[in-house]
Structure 1
Amino acid sequence: MGTVPGFDPVTEHEKTRSALRAVVPRLVRLGDVPDPEASSGVPVRTVGDVGTHLAAVHLAYCSIVSDGSVEWDTVLPSDDSLFVERIAAMNAKSIDLFGGDGHACPGDFVAERGEMFLRITEGLAPGTPVIAPWYGQGTTTTLATVTGLMLSESLVHGLDIARGAGLAWEIGPDEARLVLGQSMPAMMTPALDTAKARGVSIAFDLRIKGGLRLAVVVEDGTMTVTRDAPPRAYDCTITAAPVTFLLVSFRRTPIWKAIACGRMRAGGRRPWLAVRLGELVAAP
């Protein structure tokens, strides 16, 4: 079946930190957009809204690795809400955290909090536990996952702002692979739409060009995502360019376009099941 070499979590975590450090100045340069009220790459959100959300993201992640200054009980819905509902509520509230006045990305704040996050977490192991309340009361993830999520938010929302402002923005394949490797295994599972997944049994072999490989197994309302999994039989193999899969996952590129352009293809015993993966994973 073929395997890929195992990865070094410490080395990959440091590469993710370096990528985050490099993207922050690029975000700051996006702060002075000519029209904050222009439509962004996110439906119903202006360029200014996305910029404000991005600043709130940096605030949130700094809060959970430092002094916990955000009172999450005033931001999040009840504990029994679904994962996708909690994320949607967090996204909506993020605009209000900065006054909801539609200003574009507060560059100084993003630069300050991005640097603060990197400084506070310097030298910590990638497996260091971090409590992220917006994923569920008491939910613990790892520093590697949080760093990957900060990078993904910065790259994808940077693209949203740039698209609305008519500016250039590039996401490199190495950056995309880091995001997919660091955050995707942890975040796909809670994002599963358990109602749609009930009674479903599918094993996906997800191969990202350049070396990343994930086994995504859906079994009667549950999902497991395993990196560099032992050999097994799969129903569907999905092979994709890293940037393409990142943008398809975040609903920034339609899957039909990725397939038509040859940047994503399906194979295996039941290749037609490839579209089910996107249907089973909820998007807030």
Structure 2
Amino acid sequence: MGFVATFDPVSEHERTRAALAAAIPRLARLLREVPDLDAASGVPRWSVGDVGAHLTSVYLAYGSVVSPDAADTAVDWGSVLPSGDLPFVERITAMNDASVAVVDGEGRARLGDLIAERGETFLRITGNLAPDAPVAAPWYGPGPTLTVAVVTGLMLGESLVHGLDMARGAGLPWSIGGDEASLVIGQSMPTMMSLALDTAKARGVRVAFDLVVEGGPRLAVVVDDGAMTVTRDAPPRAYDCRLTVDPAAFLLVSFRRTPIWKAVALGRMRAGGRRPWLAMRLGRLVATP
């Protein structure tokens, strides 16, 4: 197995853009082929149409924060953002519910077209931006600032995973390649794992994970008394647990689409190091809506 020791952020960002550009027409075609938008999806409380509506709203939201003045991406955030200082999971859950309601009946009739239009708009307005250009993400709260690279990785991850959710409900094929999944992990997870840390569960915890993605990035995930840092290509250090993972399997486990026991049983996630039993703890420390 090959492991990437170093990475070029500009090159990797361009590959992520190319992967997103390839995923968008796949999603549009999938939505146009869905026989019943009201069928149950891979998300327990959402129909296939609900997932499609959510995804088109995600595309619109990220385009809006990258280019707030663009007419085709404008969003009235005051009417959408949840009020109050909610914990991460509750805040994102509220935003997800709101995102489904944003798309009306007319929009649902043309979800494939909306996906194509909004995906192409995002790629267009980010085409000349540097990977490290800052981007606000108000749905995560008033503090976090992401980058164009992180946002692009997030959009690719949402596209791949929600494509699977819709395909499962519609009985249609959908694949997630290892290279695509590796790009999502490398571009978005170093930021999002730290942001989604369950600080209450992490209080008093001190543990270091060596997360090795087969054919992809290598991440040092360090939890230190309620805080988490995730670093790519970290200098050598002692780790408590090493996790060697297949990229697509790790992506689906991270999004709670595949149970970790199944990935382990299939040999797609393996734990080692001084304290391999700590591997199960990582997933419990990172909150997921």
Shorter-chain TM band: over 0.9
User: 1:223: how far off?
Assistant: 0.6
Q: Which runs of 4+ in 1 moved over 3 A?
A: 100-105
Q: State the TM-score, normalized to the length of structure 2.
A: 0.94
Instruction: Output the CA distance in 2 between the equivalents of 1:79 and 1:9.
Output: 36
* Matched residue type, 1:160: D
**RMSD, aligned CA:** 1.7
User: 1:100: how far off?
Assistant: 7.0
Instruction: Output the CA distance in 2 between the equivalents of 1:172 and 1:155.
Output: 9
Q: What SS does the corresponding residue of 2:194 show, helix, strand or coil? A: coil
Q: What SS does the corresponding residue of 1:81 show, helix, strand or coil? A: coil
CA 1:105–1:223 in structure 2 vs 1: closer, same or farther (change >3 Å)?
farther
Unaligned segments of structure 2, at least 5 residues: none
Q: 2:146 aligns with which of 141, 144, 148?
A: 141
Contact residue 79 and residue 136 of structure 1 kept, 8 A: no
Identity among equivalent pairs (%):
69
Contact residue 79 and residue 137 of structure 1 kept, 8 A: no
Instruction: Output the CA distance in 1 between the equivalents of 2:58 and 2:152.
Output: 12
Q: State the TM-score, normalized to the length of structure 1.
A: 0.96
Equivalent residue, structure 2, for 1:267:
272
* Matched residue type, 1:279: R
Task: Confirm or deny that 1:7 pairs with 2:7.
Answer: yes
Instruction: Output the CA distance in 1 between the equivalents of 2:106 and 2:185.
Output: 33
Q: In the TM superposition, what are the counterparts of 1:1-284 in structure 2 within 5 Å?
A: 4-32=4-32, 33-67=34-68, 69-99=74-104, 103=108, 106-284=111-289
Instruction: Output the CA distance in 2 between the equivalents of 1:189 and 1:159.
Output: 25
1:170-228 superposed Cα distances (whole Å, 9 cap, x missing partner): 11100000000000001001101111111111100000000310000111111110111
Q: What is the total number of aligned residue pairs between the two structures?
A: 283
Q: Which has the higher helix share?
A: 2
User: 1:105: how far off?
Assistant: 7.0
Contact residue 208 and residue 239 of structure 1 kept, 8 A: yes
CA 1:102–1:274 in structure 2 vs 1: closer, same or farther (change >3 Å)?
farther
Contact residue 185 and residue 227 of structure 1 kept, 8 A: yes
1:223-251 superposed Cα distances (whole Å, 9 cap, x missing partner): 11011111110001000000000000000
